[in-house]
Structure 1
């Protein structure tokens, strides 16, 4: 016996009439009281239910607040407002009101709230109120669920259109581009690029947000932002690149490259090739002394070929190969062709010989 709480009034202690007193009655004292010569007999004999009336207290909300998206949340509105023991709660008419944020939920009057949760619930707060007859408790403190969810989309800022190509010159900086994945717990966010050989290279790795800043080269054909949630869910957004460039022009004379002059005998054959490489494909021109000899707008063949079957003295000159492409400075290569001729008399105009 807890003497500070209970006082036994019957004497002797084996009296068939048991009388005792409960002091300072509180809600915790509500319950089923029974007596007997043994504990087993007490449960078999008739007893009494003590119902304690008190002011409804402010309830608290319990439950598993960490939950996966697209499942069900189960919350319990608990309060010391019961005037009867829990197992006799049916004797007390208690009603519950649930609130989502500050909006009352319709048709929710039970102590337990069970609702499906979606991504839209990640910032919602729940609270409850307990009612008994005309009495109403204060509203509980709100609780917010810790919703676990993976990314439904990746956001790139500035925004990009996955269906279009981004044109940029080789050697220029691309970015900054921020890639953000909305996940809980935070996703792993990676910027990576695919080269023209099909190899994938990681540029930067971060949590939740990754910033891309890269100097592009012609091998980069695709940039990708990849969001990974718990290693099991992956989302990807791509940016196609059209890297433009214009290489130095090459001039090839009779199969020899990178020379500034070639000396040939009269009546020999001269084969000149101009090679131009770029994206988009450049226009290649072969000219002599400022006059254009031949032009080709390359599509698949990036080489312009020009042949002189029998060289003449008049073919001696400086030949120029030029590659042009919009947005780039022209690239050119010059080669001096010197034809060695036999000495002869020029009879193209009157001359007195001696």
Structure 2
């Protein structure tokens, strides 16, 4: 029985010389597709050549041979694609010329497979997004490992579990897709999206897609606790060989909230929050104390001593300043920020 292989590693772009480059652009019309093609020229080959006369007087110059590259710009939403030949020359000035070509039947077949994959993935993302995965909203009682699993703060302690949960749900939703039966469990060593079929191949790039794919995870029944992720996919689909799709999840800190506070404001570099004035759940406070380091000399029985955040509390309140480094995945890379919190001892 064939199964789909899903992972969430993002690996550098895979390349085969025989594959044609395809640039996905989900907002492109013909004029915009031409502009995309102009950006992906092949540089002309140049060399220095001396003149055939009066060499004693010096002279000479660069001689450049024009270069040609064929590529495709495809809009997966409209299912319209354009094939171009991009010619570059540098005889006097550097110039780029774009000429439209006709798609072959095999190229169109590859594009149809891409359209099907893209549609099935987007449909699966839409069907599982904005779902309340964790119904429990008991976040204000004493912190415990079980209760805090239902808080978005748990993501920063174990992001892999959340990513795997997304991938499992996507896999389940795509079991009835038109291309699911062509996917098997194999080791994957490439990157980008490569499709090979009928003796030809294409490698797809998504850098020109302006409409991104997102998925969200709501904790409880309030948008005060929600994590939003941009989702990208990559992989290799060879109808006669390797077949695998990988998903990559990038936390959107500006669109995500914990305890009603934007994640970028809560954990952004340079952020300082006085928890005696800002209400945070016990799960978040527990995370701060476990992950943070107490700044030397910050403990005080009468405020923070020179720190404006704690000096107003007075009354003999003991306060600690915790410095917390929080990391998340952005486009396959680990992104870390440093924030500080004033917390009662």
Scaled by the length of structure 1, the TM-score of the pair is 0.20
| Pair member with larger Rg | 1
Q: Which has the higher strand share?
A: 1
